[in-house]
Amino acid sequence: MRTSNAEKKMELTSLLLYITIFFSALLVLILFSDGDLTLMLVERFGKRLSSVKGQVYWIVGASSGIGEYLAYELVANGAKVVLSGRRENELQKVQAQCLIIGKKAGLSETDILLLPVDVTKLELHQQYFDAVLKHFGTLDVLVNNAGRSQRAEWMNIDIRVDKDLFEGNVFGLLNLSRTVIPHFLAKKKGQIAVTSSVCGKVGAPCSASYNATKHALHGYFETLRAELTCRGILVTMLCPGPVFSDLLSACATDTYGQVQFRTQLAYCVCNLFSFLYV
Ligand SMILES: NC(=O)c1ccc[n+]([C@@H]2O[C@H](COP(=O)([O-])OP(=O)(O)OC[C@H]3O[C@@H](n4cnc5c(N)ncnc54)[C@H](OP(=O)(O)O)[C@@H]3O)[C@@H](O)[C@H]2O)c1
């Protein structure tokens, strides 16, 4: 049966109508959403937070900021956690708070392990991981969250500063992940999460070495994802924008060994201006 011209016109009009409705809905979503769309969809339709219950998470960089608050969210949902970083006194405060929050989810003291770690001490990585396995017998997720920021102009940066930032922000996390992966491969399951940054996606001014370390993390860990997803290992790259934290309480400059202290407000303003240039 042949379709008449009028019917063809109707079909075309309906198609155009559907396309217009789809893109209008998308536009409304984009205009009124306050975050990354993929993330929002995963939050709405992805795994429930309760799925972390009973899993063992090792947060490296848990003594403040993003890592600290991730720990609270995890224990509130019944996950067991290993809290790591260099500042033991800060870790103790986080551990105490985790216990208060975690008790409501049925956790006890033994479910929250405090393990001081310096990621730049590569020779100690196996020892750190052995301590995790000794305590929990297993590990499900390694959260590579440790990081140090920087404020400096590109052309003034001493090359030793670049190397220094790569030691902690990249090689430390890389080597720790390599230490843990054989365990994940043996149980055909595991997840590596890496806190990169928006600065791992675009080059923002005034922190070239920091930006480069975050870009390097994508190079290493996206390759790992390509190699190991088929063997049950998940690799998740987290790319936050500016977040209030201790990140700039001690950040690198252009001079080797120098640390600059800035207020959080200054940091925010600095970031805002930085992104205007991008
Ligand atoms: N704040 C932001 O706007 C922002 C935006 C995008 C991405 N990020 C990233 O998010 C992550 C967390 O930063 P944050 O903002 O939450 O700042 P933060 O409060 O300063 O947290 C940084 C964490 O890294 C740990 N760390 C640093 N060097 C370490 C080392 N050598 N060994 C072990 N742990 C080390 C710190 O612990 P100790 O000092 O106790 O060692 C601390 O727990 C970083 O990777 C950062 O680059 C932050």
- pLDDT tens track for 194-214: 999 999 999 999 999 999 999
Q: 136 φ, ψ to 5°?
A: -105, -15
Please identify which residue in the block is written with the tokens 């993003």.
66
Nearest CA to ligand 1 atom 6: 197
164 belongs to a structural domain: yes
d(CA 84, CA 245): 17
What was the pLDDT predicted at 118? Answer: 98
Nearest to 63 by CA among 46, 41, 79, 86: 86
- Same domain membership, residue 273 and residue 140: yes
Same domain for 246 and 267? yes
| Cα 212 to averaged position of ligand 1 atoms, centre (Å) | 16
Report the percent of the chain where pLDDT is more than 90.
77
Number of domains in the chain: 2
Residue closest by Cα to atom 10 of ligand 1: 195
- Residue 249 phi/psi, 5-degree rounding, is -70, -25
List the domain range (segments joined by +) for residue 18: 8-46
User: Residues 149-158: what's their mean pLDDT?
Assistant: 96
74 has a pLDDT exceeding 80: yes
Q: Can you tell me the mean pLDDT for 124-147? A: 98
Looking at the fold, whether 36 and 129 belong to one and the same domain comes out as no
Whether residues 119 and 243 fall in one domain = yes
Is there a single domain that holds both residue 171 and residue 127? yes
CB atoms near residue 10 (< 10 Å) = 12
Which residue has tokens 């052995």? 130
Does 1 fall in a domain? no
Residues 23 and 143 in one domain: no
E-only strand ranges, the chain: 56-60, 80-84, 112-114, 141-144, 190-195, 233-238, 251-252, 259-260
Q: What is the CATH number of the domain that holds 233?
A: 3.40.50.720
- Kindly state whether residues 22 and 121 are assigned to the same domain: no
List, in order, residues 6 or more apart from 131 with CB less than 8 Å away: 115
- State the DSSP string of 228-269: HGGGTEEEEEE------SSTTTTEE-SSTT-EE---HHHHHH
- In a shared domain, residues 233 and 101: yes
- Asked if residue 69 and residue 191 are part of one domain, the reply reads yes
pLDDT at 44: 82
The answer to whether residue 14 is domain-embedded is yes
Instruction: For residue 210, indicate whether it is catalytic.
Output: yes
Which is catalytic among the residues 18, 72, 128, 210?
A: 210
Determine, yes or no, domain membership for 80: yes
DSSP at 211 = H
Cα separations (Å) of 128 from 35, 78, 132, 186, 206?
36, 23, 7, 19, 34
Q: Are residues 270 and 236 in the same domain?
A: yes
Percent over 70 (pLDDT), the chain: 93
Say yes or no: 100 and 38 in one domain.
no
pLDDT 10s digits, 213-237: 999 999 999 999 999 999 999 999 9
Span from the CA of 105 to the centroid of ligand 1 (angstroms)? 27
